[in-house]
Amino acid sequence: MPKPPRVAALLVLGLVAGCSTAPRTFPSSGAYLANASVQLTPNLNISLEKMVFWGALAGAAYLVYDPLTPNWEIEEAQLSPVQYHLSMRMKRFYAGGAGEAQQAFNQRAKDIARSSGAADYAVLEYSEGLESSVLGSRRVSRGVIQLTGLASDDAGKQHPAQDREGVVE
């Protein structure tokens, strides 16, 4: 598999080669957009060119910002039967929610405890910070939780009073 700098160099070379064979005038004949406009009121009309431009700009902004995606992406790893490591990263472009790292961490810890049958959890480690990159920094949060109040039976063992279908005799 080619390395990323090699792939980028090949793409640039392809673009340069494509530009050298392109016609000198763009478009070569005719217009891509009709010279039309929408009459909203007797005194206000909007050209099709402006509608396409602002629609494309709004679409690009929506793709980058995407208000429907969660603010935090959470990865978890089970360290032992009762310990979990949670690693969270905030999305790069957001409008609000920068101070909710601990709240999101605690909510995910509660979900893990509930699904594991634990009564509660204890936070063993927790940290917040910034992760730098070319496109700007991202908020990150990491921590380790330990489940507490688990039943004395092991999760993988069957209770002696239950048969193979899980029905109590």
What digits encode the pLDDT tens for the residues 97-131? 677 889 999 999 999 999 999 999 999 999 999 88
**92 and 60 part of one domain:** no
What is the token pair recorded at 141? Answer: 């949060």
Q: What is the pLDDT of residue 47?
A: 84
**42 and 102 part of one domain:** no
Cα separation, 165 vs 45, whole angstroms: 72
Q: Is residue 154 part of a domain?
A: no
**48 and 99 part of one domain:** no
What's the whole-number average pLDDT of the chain? 76
Q: Is residue 21 part of a domain?
A: no
- Indicate the pTM of the whole model: 0.55
Q: Is residue 96 part of a domain?
A: yes
Per the structure, the complete domain to which residue 39 belongs is given by 34-65
Q: Is residue 58 part of a domain?
A: yes
**139 and 112 part of one domain:** yes
Number of domains in the chain: 2
DSSP string, 85-120: EEEEEE-SS-SS-TT-HHHHHHHHHHHHHHHHT-SE
Q: What is the pLDDT of residue 6?
A: 65
What is the token pair recorded at 134? Answer: 């070319």
Q: What is the pLDDT of residue 144?
A: 96
Of residues 70, 137, 151, the one with CA closest to residue 108: 70
Q: What is the pLDDT of residue 112?
A: 94
**130 and 111 part of one domain:** yes
